[in-house]
Amino acid sequence: MSKLLQSQGPLLALLGLVLLFSVITDSFASWGNLGAVLEAAAIPAVVAIGLTFVLMQASIDLSVEGVASLANIILAITIANSVTATDIGLWAVPLVLGVGLAIGATSGAISIYVRMPSLIVTLGMWLTTVGLAALLYPGRLPQILDTRITGLAIGKVWGLSWIVYLTLALIIMALLVEKHTRFGRMCRAIGENEPVLVMSGIKVIRHKIAAFALAGGCYAAAGILMGARIGVGNTQSGVGLLFPSIAACVLGGTLLSGGHGGVRQSMIGVLILVTLRNGLIMVGVDPLLQSALEGAVIILAVAGSTWHLRRKIRVIK
Amino acid sequence: MDATLRFLRRNGAVLVLLVILAAVSTAAPGILRWRAINSLLQDNAPMLILIVGATLPILLGCLDLSIAAMASLAAVSAALLSPVLGSASVPVVVGGAAALGGLQGWLIGRLQVPSFVISLGALGIFKGVAMYLTGANMVGITPGIWIYDLLGSRSFGMSNSFLLVLIVAGLFAAMLKFTNLGRNIYAFGANEIAVYISGVRRDMVRSFAFATSAGCAALGGIMMISQTMFASATVAGSLLLPALVGVVVGGTAISGGVGGVLSSLIGGLIAILIRVGVTISGLPPESQDVAFGITILIAVALTTDRAKIGVVK
């Protein structure tokens, strides 16, 4: 029993929350609200996928907000829009994803070759990309006119927008990469014990750079989906993505210390956070107190889910 | 070569400060006038005191993400309490903040949850409470209260807020250098297990470090309202990043055990000068962030002591 609690704690917490909100409110357990929860979870889930591979390796990436904003702006000014004359059509999508991958790979390479903690490198990258997004901003809010992008948010199939389906497809791909590729297994191994891998002659460096590149690509994808949803290019579009997505990964069991968790766990974490946010509104908690309750839940959930790891002599930073 | 590198590592931050100062003052000699310097220091005193406080948890190898939210909460509470308590609202708020910070430090050890998570949760809690207290509105402060007037004014031609920053930084620097507690903080950052085995109470050290960072953050919030005479739940929210940037650029290593309060203060001055430099050089204000980002990368690349890092994470 206690073993089940340990391994499936976050999932049980999610089910418990769903059950609790369904019992105490009438409006929570409805198809419409389920859809709302999934819509709200989609973009944080895309960010959390990328973050998961980095966290599994015991590194961290803080550049989400900058990279997503930059991706959003580049998309908005290169596709058909109301301000600039450029229109490269759907080529904007691979362009933006490529920029994301390149930024991620740069962070990874700097961290490894210049030997600096990823926390600092990606903090620097966060500010740099925020600044670049602001520099590229064409002065007036560019409205995205290409309906193939905005249609992702407007067009619905079975009550859910294409954003949700694209996210689901991305989650499945990420799960396959995690379970069935050498890179996926290496991510966990690097977090568990990197020196041993290095000594066994494994080229750790390329797996580490790949994780940062993948993360950058995911943030760029989040920026594109954000563009589809808000329909404009905004330098602030990525703001507010960082802390919830890190919190979601940690809540689900992808620990910052590396080697634990995975995509499935992080997705459960995202759902916990979104369900909580949604449910608290349904219950009628003062929206001004939202972030206070979220904060308390983050602390309690992490304390609860890592309780079994407690030891007398343990370094906690 | 080695000697040059070592010299750079030890004095890197000061050199960077001097280079930027030289560049900025060639471009705009006016910046070196006493009045300009003074008003810069006064405007940035809240950020500088946050930087001073944020140094101690980082010396332990921890991170306090709740400082900016705490500064906002303190500003709001001080504004709400000032009609009742008058000048006494300042010690009450700073004391309360220190207690909340100490609680965070204690919880890290008790719950064995990383400081990143505890202080992230605390950030949410402080922000929510501040929003709730103000109803998401501005709160004005009653004019004519002695202590706020004092912080907002000048003596010996210097902003009192900035003088307070210097006093607090001096006290902490002396504490770190001359007391057992100070030496324990460095030892904790360098090797926590060794500190534990030699009988130091880790909870105490951690609580102290987080109490000081929260107390300094509260002082920062109070300085802000003494200048603007109003507070809101998000008044200091944007200070978190510049504060962490200042600490790190100054040469205090995120991995703990290396650095100090005075280096952080230099890092803070660098951050201020970059902002000024971008503004007067006629570059678009948006390039400020790019300049910040690149400066962090270069400064840290120069000042990190690689001997301590076995595996780069």
Look up the CATH architecture of domain B28-304.
Answer: Orthogonal Bundle (1.10)
Higher pLDDT, A190 or A298: A190
- The number of C-alpha atoms within 13 Å of A128 and in the hemisphere containing its C-beta is 18
Enclosing domain of residue A171: 45-261
Q: What is the mean pLDDT of residues A214-221?
A: 95
In a domain, A273, yes or no: no
Q: What beta strand segments (E) does A45-157 contain?
A: 156-157
Judged by a CB distance cut-off of 8 A, whether residue A117 touches chain B is yes
Q: How many domains does chain A have?
A: 1
What is the reported pLDDT for B308?
54
The residue ranking higher by pLDDT, A230 or A89, is A230
* Averaged pLDDT score across all residues of chain A: 85
Of residues A36 and A254, the one with the higher pLDDT is A36
Q: Which tops the pLDDT comparison, A259 or A312?
A: A259
Whose CA is closest to B72, among B220, B261, B268?
Answer: B220
Report, as an integer, the average pLDDT of A22-39: 85
How many percent of chain A have pLDDT more than 90? Answer: 25
- Using 50, 70 and 90 to split pLDDT, how confident is the model at A5? low
Rounded to the nearest 5°, which phi and psi values hold at B158? Answer: -115, 150
Distance from CA of B260 to the nearest CA of A (A): 18
Please state the φ and ψ torsions of residue B308, each to the nearest 5 degrees. -80, -25
Per-residue pLDDT tens over the stretch A272-285: 889 988 888 888 88
pLDDT per position as a tens digit, A126-181: 888 988 888 888 878 888 877 787 777 777 778 788 889 999 999 999 999 989 99
Residue-wise pLDDT tens digits, B175-184:
999 999 999 9
pLDDT band at residue A32 using 50, 70 and 90 as cut-offs: confident
Tell me which residue of B249, B250, B296, B292 sits closest to B274, measured CA to CA.
Answer: B292
Q: Element (H or E) spanning B258, and its range?
A: none
Residue B67 and residue B96: Cα distance in Å, rounded? 14
In a domain, A215, yes or no: yes
What phi and psi, each to the nearest 5 degrees, are found at residue A160? Answer: -120, 145
Question: Which residues from A are below 8 Å from B129, CB to CB?
Answer: 289, 292
Segments of chain B scoring below 50 in pLDDT: none
Neighbouring residues of B79: CB distance < 8 A, sequence distance ≥ 6: B139, B140, B141, B225, B230, B231
Distance from CA of A128 to the nearest CA of B (A): 4
> A107 CB near a chain B CB, below 8 Å?
no
| pLDDT reported for residue B5 | 64
Residue A280 belongs to a domain: no
Distance CA B110, CA B99 (A): 16
* Residue A296 within a domain: no
Contact in structure between A259 and A54 (CB atoms under 8 Å): no
pLDDT on residue B97: 96
Q: Where are the domains of chain B?
A: 28-304
Q: Is residue A315 part of a domain?
A: no
Which residues numbered 243-302 in A keep a CB inside 8 Å of some CB on B?
Answer: 243, 246-247, 250, 256-258, 286, 288-299, 302
CA distance A143 to A136: 15
Interface membership of A125 toward B (CB under 8 Å): yes
pTM (global) more than 0.90: no
The pLDDT of residue A210 is 93
pLDDT at A259: 75
pLDDT of A60 reads 86
Nearest CA to B267 out of B26, B47, B68 is that of B47
